[in-house]
Amino acid sequence: MYLGIDLGTSEVKAVVIDSGGKMLALAGTALSVSRPHPRWSEQDPQHWWQAACDSVAALRAQLGEAVFGEIRAIGLSGQMHGAVLLDSEDRVLRPAILWSDARSTAECAELTRRAPRLHQLAGNLAMPGFTAPKLLWVARHEPQIFARTACVLLPKDWLRLQMSGQKISDPSDAAGTLWLDVEKRDWSDELLEAGGMQRAQMPDLADGSACAGTLLPQVAQAWGLSAQVIVAGGAGDGAASAVGIGAVNPGDGFLSLGTSGVLFVVNDRFRPNPARAIHAFCHTLPQRWHQMSVMLSAASCLRWFCRLCSVDEKTLLCEIEALNQDQLDNAPLFLPYLSGERTPHNDPYAQGSFHGLAPEHERAALGYAVLEGVCFGMADGLDALRVAGAAVSELSLVGGGARSTYWAQLLADVLRVRIVTHVGSEAGGALGAARLAWLAAGGQEQEVCSKPPRLTVYEPNATRHAALQIRLQRYRDAYRAWPPLFSDVDVQ
């Protein structure tokens, strides 16, 4: 059996699969985000470790100690771009700065100036969410901490350090730092120097399907496992979700509705297109790359709205499904930019807002606007991918949002592509991490990375698509009218 651990922003999720790929158990432990200043997002890495241990304990309880003890390998998936700063004794120097943190706008401009070949080597624009600008911010605002920084680890790789004592990352996660030569799949001394860093501060690199250590004896004992259990290289959450859904060959793609929203297409070569804020990253499997459009707030928008209205998601979705067509067509518009936006705007100042509110609008109409606004953000991302050369007619749906049949059909209608859910779709990166563990333990890619059985297929409705295009255009017009209002937001 194989264990996959996915370190998300709102949850650490863990799954166990057997040697036939069947999911045997699933558990999760919630996380919270600290926002001490506007546009800051931080977490305490110790909370990640405790959540991982709690999730593993829950799996162990579900399966029983004897069965759980048969696990042969562990894979890791995690939120990308986060910066965990360690001193020379591997002590965490400050809270981890997350992918959704937008404080380093000025440092992005500085990095672009310092590294003339940034776009050519890294394949991406400098955005505040990426790791390198975060370290420039630390150097400027927290110089004493920067001076003590002996190593920078990405979130999942800090978990690996606790599990195995090894400082190792994989190319898919490392590609999100702006320190990697993405085509060569190796650290770039040129980009590191531009960011004020050195290769000695970077972890080693291993493909996601490779063996990258074994469990420390004390961790093995605490978890009820053998100290010979392999820890695989793992992947950033997007690439791990791709492995979980079987998107491993050129042309394969998926849509992820998690805290953020991702459209992911596999390539057989490095195909950067930074002009449209498309991400070009390494896949976690050897000699493959991928293009990705990213919106910073997706399913998190629905969670935010439910919390604001003191309603659970199931109740709200039932209310939305009861709306008639006239109520849908006249619902307000929602801009889902609660944490700024990446593709296609690269706008850290963008903010969420409702447009067109009227006295007759009830909670359900606003809830529908939230679902629709996320779909419209995905439509912007898909357009950018198509301009970059991606041909997309079908997308697998993964992540927490995959649980909603209503949202899945709305995505199909807005994007005018076939949306497919699979058995285990909701497990997302955790399932992919477990598959990478299986590969590291000797599994064959053709068997391990097959597409899971289809659960439901959502065909786009052409009539509904045409009607939604009118609202999509209004949504885009609303964004273009608003950015100047937010460009002077103070960030400490």
pLDDT above 90 covers what percent of the chain?
81
Residue 415 in any domain: the answer is: no
Q: What's the rounded Cα separation, in Å, for the pair 278 and 273? A: 6
The total of structural domains in the chain comes to 1
Note the pLDDT of residue 278.
85
Q: Name the average pLDDT for the chain.
A: 93
> Which of 6, 237, 347, 413 is labelled catalytic?
237
Residue 86 in any domain: the answer is: yes
Residue 36 in any domain: the answer is: yes
Segments forming the whole domain that contains residue 101: 2-245
Element containing residue 118 per DSSP (H, E): helix 118-122
pTM of the model: 0.85
- DSSP codes, 123-174: -S---TTSHHHHHHHHHHH-HHHHHH--EEE-HHHHHHHHHHS--EE-HHHH
Residue 216, pLDDT > 80, answer: yes
Task: Give the three-state DSSP class for 232.
Answer: strand
Residue 402, pLDDT > 90, answer: no
Residue 208 in any domain: the answer is: yes
Q: What's 52's domain CATH number?
A: 3.30.420.40
Element containing residue 112 per DSSP (H, E): helix 105-114
State the virtual CA torsion across 18, 21, 25, 26 in degrees, nearest 10: 140
Q: Tokens 């978890």 identify what position?
A: 223
24-44 pLDDT, tens digit each: 999 999 999 999 999 899 999
Say if residue 80 carries a ligand binding annotation. yes
Residue 482, pLDDT > 80, answer: no
Q: What's the rounded Cα separation, in Å, for the pair 16 and 57? A: 12
Higher pLDDT, 490 or 308: 308
Residue 307 in any domain: the answer is: no
Residue 455 in any domain: the answer is: no
Buried (b) or exposed (e) across 420-436, using 16+ Cβ within 10 A?
bbbebbbbbbbbbbbbb
Residue 180, pLDDT > 70, answer: yes
Say if residue 81 carries a ligand binding annotation. yes
The question of whether 186 is a catalytic residue gets the answer no
Within 8 A by CB and 6+ apart from 458, the residues are: 405, 408, 409, 411, 412, 418, 419, 420, 421
Note the pLDDT of residue 401.
77
Query: Which residue type does 343 have?
Result: T
Note the pLDDT of residue 225.
97
Residue 72 in any domain: the answer is: yes
413-428 pLDDT, tens digit each: 999 999 999 887 777 7
Q: What's the rounded Cα separation, in Å, for the pair 93 and 107? A: 21
- DSSP codes, 444-487: -HHHHTPPPPEEEEE---HHHHHHHHHHHHHHHHHHHHSGGGTT
Q: Which of 98-112, 133-147, 226-240, 423-437 has the lowest mean pLDDT?
A: 423-437
Residue 458 in any domain: the answer is: no
